[in-house]
Structure 1
Amino acid sequence: MTYNWQQADWPDFQYNVAKITTALQAFSSEIAEANGMLKSMPQSTRLQSIINTMVAEAIKTSAIEGELLNPRDVVSSVRNRLGLHDNPPIKDKRAKGIGELMVEVRNSYADPLSQQQLFTWHTLLLSQSNHIKTGQWRKGTEPMQVISGAAGRETIHYEAPPADKVPAEMKRYIQWFNDTAPGGRQEISAAPLRAAIAHLYFESIHPFEDGNGRIGRALAEKALSQTAGRPLVLSLSRTIEAARKDYYQALEKAQRSNEVTHWVVYFVNVVLNAQQQAKQLIEHTLQRSKFYDRFKDQLNERQLKAVNKMLDAGPEGFEGGITAKKYISITKASKATATRDLQDLAAIGALVLAGAGRSTHYTLCLDN
């Protein structure tokens, strides 16, 4: 098997831009709409939208690698890094690292890429790991392979360049990243296209002992924001994680050749979908803010706890609506109290009654 970095045209990636013209146009439209929505928001609501997106990215980029994090810990980490204190203590150090990385990537989006910046990101991400050497390129003679399957029946999906080639490869990568930035010698003006190549190129080098996927996705977001000229509010990993198998298959195929049109088409559409989902998340944050403005002074402690649980489900909504049984589970109220609380919420217009008999449930009223 010959991989992309072993071929004579490495890293001269070739692609057919005509295949992504429609998606690029749609992305430009979506990003303009999302930016307009953000600008129209009160500052506190806009900040909450940004925090929600960074938290979603942190949780999902970790989930892609098999790490499940406590959302509350991630929220505390992001808020602490933003200087917003009085947050619950962070129990999971992994959440602390990825949360801090998300804020650092956003804050430094306009900076030229450097080796030191990558080492800083790597240290933030994995400083809690005792067995990983952070803030340096991988070393040693063992091959860096992407493997799946049980012991003795492994499948090798990819093998990266040997460690002794990494410093030179990364020097060339960093130069490419900066040359393709706005105003660079080889500027790539389409943000999703630049992000697609930035991610594939980095993942193909696989320069770190661990954390390459998360750093690589952070680089894709940096490329997007830098090319767009402002920090974008979107979560690539939320979209990727929803169809993780497609992501790995597309990446594996792209690492067989330096003709990468199929990868570019795949990734540009991931970016477009991520931006569309981000717009939905922004809309939900605005609806949530308006909901609280209307009802917060009318809710008792139990009702507020249940409503928060429903709102935390995000744009997708609280699956199946809320029933008296679910309300009891969330609030520990009696059946009579749960029924009364839900009826009161419907009476003030906070919930909408649906179904009848055993199918009776309520949904949030977020339209106004």
Structure 2
Amino acid sequence: MELATSKMASISYNQEALKSLEYQFMQANGIALGAFKHVQDDEKDELLIEILVNEALKTSEIEGEYLDRDSVQESIKKNLGLESTKRKLPPSEFGISEMMVNLYGTYDKPITIDKLFQWHMMLTNVRRDLVDIGRYRTHEDPMQVVSGRLDR
């Protein structure tokens, strides 16, 4: 299967290799949707915020980055257009929150290279040490995928 692209490059993967994981995800998703239907309307926003906050924190932890829960929660509220305080939010918390809300709002749209670049720009919104933000790498150094601390 191939993801939709708006540029020449595309992303492909082996759909058969992911079938069992997709099935597990769909089972868990069905349970979550069933539970969500029984939540009172006035509590649905809070549940959505909690789900997005947890996902944002876990996603960041995979990369060895530990964010402030309250700041992420506040930023998600702000990005959803819900009532929030006016305090200044740290860039890392704002970036991951902006991406999570974008993901939530566009889950039914194809993933494109442009969308991946947009998410990358959201996550790295104030980084001055990165050369290639929101585009393909342009230098000759080999790609290294490192998750967590370098000594692990």
Q: Partner residue of 1:116?
A: 114
Contact 2:77/2:84 (8 A) holds in 1: no
- Cα separation, 2, equivalents of 1:137 and 1:97: 20
1:67-104 deviations in Å (ceiling 9; x for gaps): 11111110111001100133252442100000110000
Contact 2:92/2:123 (8 A) holds in 1: yes
Q: Partner residue of 1:143?
A: 142
Residue type at the aligned position of 1:146? V
Contact 1:76/1:88 (8 A) holds in 2: no
More helix as a share of residues = 1
TM-score normalised over the length of structure 1: 0.34
TM-score normalised over the length of structure 2: 0.76
The structural deviation recorded for 1:48 is 1.0
Contact 2:68/2:93 (8 A) holds in 1: yes
Contact 2:75/2:89 (8 A) holds in 1: no
The structure-2 alpha-carbon separation of the partners of 1:28 and 1:116, relative to structure 1 and needing over 3 Å to count, comes to: closer
The structural deviation recorded for 1:65 is 0.9
Three-state SS of the structure 2 residue aligned to 1:86 is coil
The number of aligned residues is 137
Q: Quick one: which of 56, 74, 96 aligns to 1:98?
A: 96
Three-state SS of the structure 2 residue aligned to 1:79 is helix
- Cα separation, 1, equivalents of 2:41 and 2:60: 29
Task: Give the number of the structure with larger relative contact order, counting CA–CA contacts within 8 Å between residues 6 or more apart.
Answer: 2
Three-state SS of the structure 1 residue aligned to 2:107 is coil
The structural deviation recorded for 1:112 is 1.9
More strand as a share of residues = 1
The structural deviation recorded for 1:113 is 2.0
Q: Partner residue of 1:56?
A: 54
Contact 1:90/1:96 (8 A) holds in 2: no
Q: Quick one: which of 87, 90, 112 aligns to 1:89?
A: 87
Q: Percent identity?
A: 28
The structural deviation recorded for 1:63 is 1.3
The structure-2 alpha-carbon separation of the partners of 1:146 and 1:116, relative to structure 1 and needing over 3 Å to count, comes to: closer
Which consecutive residues of structure 1, in runs of 5 or more, have no partner in the other structure? 1-10, 151-244, 246-368
Pair member with larger Rg: 1
